[in-house]
Amino acid sequence: MEYLRLGVNIDHVATVRNARGGTHPSPIAAALLAQKAGADGITAHLREDRRHIRDDDITALKEAIDIPLNFEMAATDEMVAVALKLLPNAACIVPERREELTTEGGLAVTGQQVRLSPLIQQLKGAGIRVSLFVDAEEAELRAAADLGADIVELHTGRYCDSPAGNQRSQEYERIAKGAQIAAALGLEVHAGHGLSFETVPEIAALPEIVELNIGHFLIGAAIYTGLEDVILQMRQLMSRARPAK
Ligand code: PXP
């Protein structure tokens, strides 16, 4: 099986900082600690309302880290302009509604091809790898491949939120099948949203998935044992679920 990368999302370090409006804790310092602890990439989402990460954070982050930056962004001209200036390793296009607490569902690629296509082409033209954050539905995966996306990130939120049992098994099957379809379409397959120590093993065991992006759980658990410790523990669970060839 291919190596499974861990992308650490540091958005919620900025959430805590912004609660008091100062400079502590620093998402940049957290990203550097994550890098030291073995993260394979750093993910950050510059939201339209700048509720956590801000423009100066994302610029400083790109400068500070030596590992790839995955820039999460809404499909807007404003964010494309930021991405073209920033030149992250990858841009992950996510749906965004101002009133939601977090990214609640995947991007509706079907029905939005005309709007998404020029945007994807601009990003790709600048050498940025394009990822679409989608639900594991065949029609969405096919539409992503047709648009020339390099990567799909499968939304694991519903799987993680379902109580263990039948409902979670059904969600798992959907993600497992989606990962197979996406890989067969030639897409690189990532997954993320809501993953924790409890939910990561099954997702990490899916051989088509090569990257997981995890944020809220890691930043929350870091309050108890520190960021380096939780990243090490997460990496261990991921490796255990995924024996080397
Ligand atoms: N992947 C994508 C595309 C996301 O939008 C998010 C949330 O920002 C995550 C992964 C990480 O989700 P969580 O913070 O629940 O681990």
- pLDDT tens-digit profile of 109-167? 999 999 999 999 999 999 999 999 999 999 999 999 999 999 999 999 999 999 999 99
What integer pLDDT is reported at residue 190 of this predicted model?
98
Strand partners, 93: 73, 132
Nearest C-alpha neighbor of 179 from the set 155, 158, 154, 151: 154
Question: 133 C-alpha vs ligand 1 centroid, how far in Å?
Answer: 9
Residue segments in the chain with a per-residue pLDDT below the cut of 70? 98-103, 244-245
Question: 155 C-alpha vs ligand 1 centroid, how far in Å?
Answer: 8
Residues of the domain holding 187: 5-241
Nearest C-alpha neighbor of 155 from the set 189, 183, 112: 189
Question: 146 C-alpha vs ligand 1 centroid, how far in Å?
Answer: 24
Residue ranges around ligand 1 (CB below 6 Å): 9, 11, 45, 72, 92, 94, 102-103, 133, 153, 192-195, 213-217
Residue whose CA is at the smallest distance from ligand 1 atom 4: 193
Q: How many domains does the chain have?
A: 1
Nearest C-alpha neighbor of 175 from the set 208, 218, 198, 126: 208
What integer pLDDT is reported at residue 183 of this predicted model?
98
Q: Cβ of 28: how many Cβ atoms within 10 Å?
A: 20
What integer pLDDT is reported at residue 105 of this predicted model?
83
Question: Could you tell me the CATH number of the domain that includes residue 126?
Answer: 3.20.20.70
What integer pLDDT is reported at residue 98 of this predicted model?
60
> Is the CB of residue 234 less than 8 Å from the CB of residue 242?
no
Residues with active-site annotation: 45, 72, 193
- pLDDT tens-digit profile of 29-39? 999 999 999 99
